[in-house]
Structure 1
Amino acid sequence: KDCTTASQCDKIEKIQGRTHSYTLDKVFGTDSSTDQIYQDSVASLVKAAMEGYHSTVIAYGQTSTGKTHTMTGTKGDPGLIPLCIKDCFRYVQENKSAEPREYLFRLSYLEVYKEHIRDLLCSKNSAPEPVRLFDGPNGLVIRGLHEEVVSSPEKVFQLLKHGERKRQVGATHMNEHSSRSHVMVRLTIESSLATDKNGETRSSTLSLVDLAGSESVRLNGTERREEGRYINKSLMALGQVVLGLSDACSNSNENKKINQQHIPYRDSKLTRLLQPSLSGNAQMLLMCCISPLASYMEESHNTFKFATRAKRIEQKATIQTANDNEETLLQTYRDEIQDLKQQLAE
């Protein structure tokens, strides 16, 4: 039985006949296509990433509400991840004449499974290097994560398909192919003006995150129960971070800096990975998925409360440039090409 209704002013008005009002930026019904969601809410973040802003899309919600389908899609009905990737490369082609910039893309693919970060692009023949998180002078540093330079959407999809085989999925009482881990696709975008070889290099990251869904652990088997505990624990940590950030933004300006220091990012690997996106210097879209079924009313109610808190978080993204002492891969390739040209000339 359908237990939710959406008004024309992007409010969820009723849950199972009881009135609850939640004001959101946009509401999409079951008849909305993924392409419609992309064009309406996601395309602007891809454009921002190409212009040098960190951008993040996060799918959140109870298990079996369509998060993975919305993010990944199918061959005939592509999800947000393939649509984002295609748009990045399309942007390069369409803006060649307007602003002649050189671009370099680096792809990484990871999952958080039982509080361990697993590299989904590492070679089968080599033991994966432990992925560790550190605080650097410019924010979070991820060590040991493999990156692949990619030059086409097809190469990206090939790598993602390779990584998909390593993902942790399993059957639960709610979903035959339930994600048992949080997954992040990271596309690092470097660009600089083709006419100014010594000019600044922009370096931004487009992060596409498919969170595992919250669930009742008591209804699953032993292995799924243990996985469910880790999933719920990390989602609870994310909820505490969002609550802390929401409260900080609601307080007076003089207290915001103090409150920011007490945000519990270190309570889970998931919140550490999302810290750059949540802490303010990124454009972020939080896509909350719910089921219209009355039996999931309480979970839907909790999802809306999470969305309402997240909506209060203030984001002030700035264009990201490489530091003077930080050599980018784009600059390294340029130098190598220049050296080869000199050798050929000699």
Structure 2
Amino acid sequence: MDQFYLRNVAQYEALVGAFVPPPAMTSGNLTKANAPGMVVSARIRPFLEEDKAAGFPSAVFPRAAPNGVIDIHDLYNHPRGRPILKSFNYSVDKVFTPEVSTEQIFDDLLVGLIPFVQNGGVGTVFAYGQTGSGKTFTISRLQELAVEALLPPFESQPTPSGSPSADVQLTIIELAGNSAFDLLSERKPISILEDSHGTIHLSGASEHPISTPASALSLIEIAASFRRTASTLKNDASSRSHSICRIRVLNPSTNTQGFLYLVDLAGSEAARDVATHGAERMRETKEINMSLSVLKDCIRGRAEWDVQSQAQSQSQSDSMIKGKKSGKPKPKPRIPFRQSALTKVLKHVFDISEGSGSTEGGRETRTVVIACVNPSLGDVAATKNTLRYAEMLRVAGLVSIAMGEKGGKEKEGPMGWGNREVRRWIGENSGEPKISADILAPTETGAEMLRMSMLEFEYRCMKSPGVTAGQAKALRSKFWKFHAES
């Protein structure tokens, strides 16, 4: 197939030049929101010297921001005539073009996770894609930026005793099939165990306290040196396992424990690559594909539950305003996190079993997926598979309808607000003394504020000087009333 592409580069480029993208689909006054707490993005790797030397043109063409659509062009060897162009388009929430740095991706996707984790949330970042697409490059730098962002605030806020105001612990493990290893203990085998309360334990894994970015970066480098790799057609040092970096943050000032997971998923392979490595590599690839399939089901299941919970909250608020009984809540979906070692370790992220006795069930989570793709036409099949997988992770949230006013500007309720609108509303409606939007909603959207529990909402309000419990309750009631009326 590669030789077919190379023989017809001129024909391919002429067809791509004449291609007219189909118009983006619109739905009038309806705006499809994303599932709360979920962002699916794509990062296009730059052309490398080896790509240029191979002679393949680009197959990946992102459309102008902010629509998140990527056009993929493939050349089809038609048996009855000249080669023809086959074009596909895929939609994600955000597209990062080759010139975008990892630092910019952090500022766009991960900055909001830092205060969320510091306040007891569970944040997860997945890097997925074909081997050689830049997954490990991306996640390694994000790990460094995350610890740099997490540590300074705590170091600058010592307790009266002079000790740091938060305990930050780092664990990095590797999953190869159903086997697990501690990358900070020279790849020592560990066990993934679940106790009678449903809590997952990484038995034998070391947890290292970190107090400075330099100490964390040193540990990250040690872990990378013990990561399992193997040679493939696309990469001489392809990651043949999943790597999970877990940062645990215990914040005594709020009595919360948050987690940030940064996951470098094993590189996917084409069938032609597997065929050159025999039965062992085929078995390895089967295990990787199975774990990725279970991961997809778990991410979608959790996102669908978040949307369902959001809908039930909206229904309850509507019923409360109208003085009617709300309908019977829908049953919880089954999320199969026990079917894979990868998803079992990440039970924090997927478990929705509130009231089951587990210390992990029902926690608020936010998930970021970065699908990394190679731009070369020679990798077009793997690129389509990666973006198809990314599309399947997206779950449509509730539909918000723009409420038009005669002669006025359209506006929508809190369900469709971004953080800027939330903060403006708080400033205009909190009364005196002012409730700080920086404390109440540092990064939250309107949908995320509606998901916030009453205790968390009021607790954050009362962290502003002089604010009473009554004022906090009044602001929450006003917010929900405005949402119901919208």
2:252 counterpart of 1:192: yes
- In structure 2, C-alpha distance between the alignment counterparts of 1:249 and 1:37, rounded to whole Å: 25
Q: Hey, what does 1:206 align to over in structure 2?
A: 260
- SS of equivalent to 2:95: coil
1:116 aligns with 2:176: no
Among candidates 15, 36, 40, match of residue 104 of structure 2? 36
Q: Per-residue deviation at 1:138? A: 6.6
TM-score by length of 2: 0.56
Deviation, structure 1 residue 191: 1.3
Partner of 2:382: 299
SS in 2 for 1:131: strand
- The whole-number CA distance in structure 2 between the counterparts of 1:278 and 1:154 is 32
Task: Report the Cα distance in structure 1 between the residues aligned to 2:261 and 2:452, rounded to whole angstroms.
Answer: 14
SS of structure 2 residue aligned to 1:130:
strand
1:141 CA drift (Å): 3.4
**Structure 2 counterpart of 1:281, from 356, 364, 387:** 364
- CA-CA distance at 1:166 after TM superposition: 2.0
Distance in 1, matches of 2:452 and 2:87, equals: 36
Deviations 1:288-324 (A, max 9, x none): 1112222333332232232233231878687999xxx
Contact 1:202–1:320, Cα closer than 8 Å, also in 2: no
Q: Which residue of 2 aligns with 1:86?
A: 148
2: CA distance, partners of 1:113 / 1:152: 30
Contact 2:296 2:392 in 1 (8 A): no
In the superposition, the TM-score normalised over structure 1's length comes to: 0.76
AA at the equivalent of 2:275: L
The 5-angstrom pairing of residues 166-315 of structure 1 reads 166-193=226-253, 201-217=255-271, 218-222=274-278, 223-245=280-302, 258=331, 260=333, 262-279=334-351, 281-312=364-395
More moved, 111-120 vs 293-302: 293-302
Answer whether contact 1:172 1:224 (CA < 8 A) is retained.
no
Q: CA deviation at 1:201?
A: 1.8
Gap regions ≥5 residues in structure 2: 1-56, 74-84, 313-326, 352-362, 398-447, 457-486
**8 A contact 1:11–1:21 mirrored in 2:** no
Q: Which entry has the higher C-alpha Rg, 1 or 2?
A: 2
By how many angstroms is 1:285 displaced?
Answer: 0.9
Rounded Cα–Cα distance in structure 1 between residues aligned with 2:387 and 2:186: 40
Q: Which runs of 5+ in 1 are unaligned?
A: 73-78, 194-199, 322-346
Query: How many residue pairs were aligned?
Result: 303
Deviations 1:12-47 (A, max 9, x none): 241106454433221101111111111111111123
Letter in 2 for 1:205: F
Note the C-alpha offset of 1:266. 1.9
2:170 equivalent among 99, 107, 110 = 107
- Find runs of 4+ consecutive structure 1 residues off by over 6 angstroms: 249-252, 317-321
The Cα RMSD (Å) is 3.2
Alpha-carbon contact 2:175-2:341 (below 8 Å) kept: yes
CA contact (8 A) 1:65 1:291 kept: yes
TM-superposed CA distance for 1:113, in Å, is: 0.8
Match of 1:144 among 204, 210, 215: 204
The 8 Å contact of residues 104 and 149 in structure 1, kept in 2 or not, is answered as yes
1:34/1:70 contact within 8 Å kept:
yes
Contact 2:298–2:337 (8 Å) recurs in 1: yes
- Contact 2:190–2:202 (CA under 8 A) maintained in structure 1: no
Q: In 2, Cα distance between the equivalents of 1:247 and 1:255?
A: 18
- Cα offset for 1:159? 2.1
Q: Which moved more, 1:309-318 or 1:202-211?
A: 309-318
What is the identity, as a one-letter code, of the residue corresponding to 1:228? T
